Amino acid sequence: MKKVESSTEQNWCSNGNGPLSPPYLFAPSQTPSLSPYQNLYSVISFIIFLCSPLLRSRAAKMAMNDILKTEDIKKALDAFKAADTFDHKKFFEMVGLKSKCADDVKKAFVALDRDNSGFIEEEELKFVLKGFATDGRDLTDKETKAFLKAADKDGDGKIGMDEFTALVLE
Ligand SMILES: [Ca+2]
Ligand SMILES: [Ca+2]
């Protein structure tokens, strides 16, 4: 009995028409109505498969403008235009991020983590305002270090998603 089963499997795999296609699909006289639907399903699955990386990257990297209001971003950036005036608490409040849900704050984190390392490193933090608007200024070294110190609770020298969320929503 076992031998028969395994030889059937062997036929399925080696019929030359695809590894997982059951043999009845290629015998239209027995089940004529199944084949077209099965093919349509395969085509749709294949299209979804092709599009899924695009959909995923779109979901993963939202622009700040999708999360926050452009005019709020502009106001907040203007308020801290002068070097060494940056205050992350006031900034997150003005930009509207503080009043967002944790999910939106996480999306903002993903947008700021430019190299997708899962962390905002010191060099990314320096350019954090550019993540809100392309004309955002660079933070000074002093501002970058103060920002990092405030967020980096575990002391590994970079900001994780949880650290960022806690900092914004605290
Ligand atoms: Ca990073
Ligand atoms: Ca950290």
46 Cα to the center of ligand 1, angstroms: 33
What local confidence, expressed as pLDDT, does residue 61 receive? 75
14 Cα to the center of ligand 2, angstroms: 53
Nearest bound ligand to the CA of residue 159: 2
What local confidence, expressed as pLDDT, does residue 54 receive? 60
What local confidence, expressed as pLDDT, does residue 53 receive? 64
Given phi > 0 = left and psi -120 to 50 = alpha, else beta, which region is 96? left
pLDDT higher than threshold 50 for residue 13: no
Neighbours of ion ligand 1 (CB under 5 A): 113, 115, 117, 119, 124
CB–CB of 97/104 below 8 Å? yes
CB–CB of 96/63 below 8 Å? no
Coil vs helix vs strand at 31: coil
Give dist(CA 110, CA 113) in Å, integer.
5
Domains of the chain, earliest start first: 2-60 (no CATH), 64-169 (1.10.238.10)
91 Cα to the center of ligand 2, angstroms: 20
| Average pLDDT over every residue of 140-146 | 98
Residues 6+ apart with CB under 8 A from 132: 64, 68, 73, 76, 77, 95
- Interval 19-70: pLDDT, tens: 554 555 555 555 556 677 788 888 888 877 776 766 655 555 788 999 999 9
CB hemisphere CA count around 142 (13 angstroms):
5
21, amino acid identity: S
88 Cα to the center of ligand 1, angstroms: 19
Nearest bound ligand to the CA of residue 120: 1
Q: Does the model's pTM come out above 0.75?
A: no
69 Cα to the center of ligand 1, angstroms: 24
